[in-house]
Amino acid sequence: MKKTLIALAAVAASGAAMAQSSVTLFGNIDVGIRHVNPEVGDAITSMSKNLISSSAIGFRGVEDLGGGMSAAFHIEGDLDPDTGTPGGLNFQRRSTVSLIGGFGELRLGRDYVPTFTVHTKYDPFGTNGLGSSINQFGTAAAFGGLSTSAVRSNNGIGYLAKFGSFDVAYMYAPRESATNSNDYHGIRAGYNAGPLSVDVATASEVGVNAGAHNPKRTNVGVAYDLGFIKPMFQYTTSKLEQATGDTKVTNLLLGLTAPVGPGLLRASYVKIDREIGAAEVDAKQIAIGYTYPLSKRTSFNANVARVSSDAGFIAEQTGYEIGIRHTF
């Protein structure tokens, strides 16, 4: 009986493997030691994750449906290497299923919003670690206490396609219930040919919560790879309508990556300006980092950053972090 059950299990597993063209387990563990010294309060030393990439584990697969079409899935969960994720693993980084063909890709589920692609693509730090640009202009403080969907959206209905050197992405996330006021729309268009890369994206929502309406965000990114250095530029405008006065935020990023020795140097300057009615405040961040490869999948990483700000806007602080990243 045991042999029969084992044989049946083997046949079932074989059938599942044949039906699924490929399934890949992938992941990344990025953890280190961070020291932050604020202008007000005590300095803090801690274990931190995501110095240059997001610690995660996931599964993705593709099935050939024939006739030039395929089905795909991608589920990805966040990891906390310093604690082992005691709260349990979920797949809120991304959880999508897709139908792919000559028409492009129809993607359903929780995914990155179009504007975030521009944020992370044209940030030398990939929106990770102390040097990340969205440490500042992705915060609720930058929006007067309220923020739009800066990174991901639930309930996403997406379309992606490539036309030679051009690519487009669209996402619609319906409100789904009478008590949910959000109704998200976002679109991005990109051009990538040789050393030049350009992306433009815009997004809007029907509402955030009581007293805040119609948050909108538009950003543009440009990079040009000269070989010995890759400069990049990003400009973002965001607006949030509020009864107490509309909030408008503009963000400028100037950055670069450059091969130095065996590794990669990263540097960026970020400036944030926020207007609420007639009141205006600003903040600045400067960061530099270096990645030293120990192998194709393992690297040693170090970042230093300094934030300065008008009083009461964003906390002023200086920090550094060092750590190790391993991908699999």
Say which CATH number the domain at 214 has: 2.40.160.10
Q: Supply 22's token pair.
A: 């490929």
Which string of DSSP letters, residue by residue, matches 136-204? Answer: HHTSSGGGTT-----SEEEEEEEEEEEETTEEEEEEEE---STT----EEEEEEEEEETTEEEEEEEEE
Residues of the domain holding 234: 27-327
d(CA 200, CA 148): 18
Q: Does 67 score more than 50 pLDDT?
A: yes
**Lowest pLDDT segment from 17-26, 156-165, 273-282:** 17-26
With H, G, I as helix, E, B as strand and everything else as coil, classify residue 306: strand
Cβ neighbour number for residue 223 with a 10 Å cutoff? 21
Q: Supply 160's token pair.
A: 């992606």
Residue 10 in any domain: the answer is no
Q: Supply 53's token pair.
A: 């990439």
Residue 16 in any domain: the answer is no
Residue 169 in any domain: the answer is yes
What is the pLDDT averaged over residues 54-60? 95
Residue 21 in any domain: the answer is no
pLDDT score recorded for residue 178: 67
State in Å, rounded, how far the first CA of the chain is from the last one. 39
Residue 6 in any domain: the answer is no
Residue 20 in any domain: the answer is no
Res. 143 pLDDT band, cuts 50 70 90: low
> Whole-model pTM above 0.75?
yes
Residue 1 in any domain: the answer is no
Count how many Cα atoms sit within 13 Å of the Cα of residue 88 in the half-sphere of its side chain. Answer: 1
Cβ neighbour number for residue 79 with a 10 Å cutoff? 23
Residue 200 in any domain: the answer is yes
Residues 131, 133, 138, 139, CA torsion sign: positive
Tell me the pLDDT tens digit for each residue of 76-123.
999 998 888 776 788 999 999 999 999 999 999 999 999 999 999 999
What is the pLDDT averaged over residues 182-190? 90
pLDDT score recorded for residue 139: 56
**Structural domain total, the chain:** 1
Res. 8 pLDDT band, cuts 50 70 90: very low
Q: Supply 158's token pair.
A: 């997406």
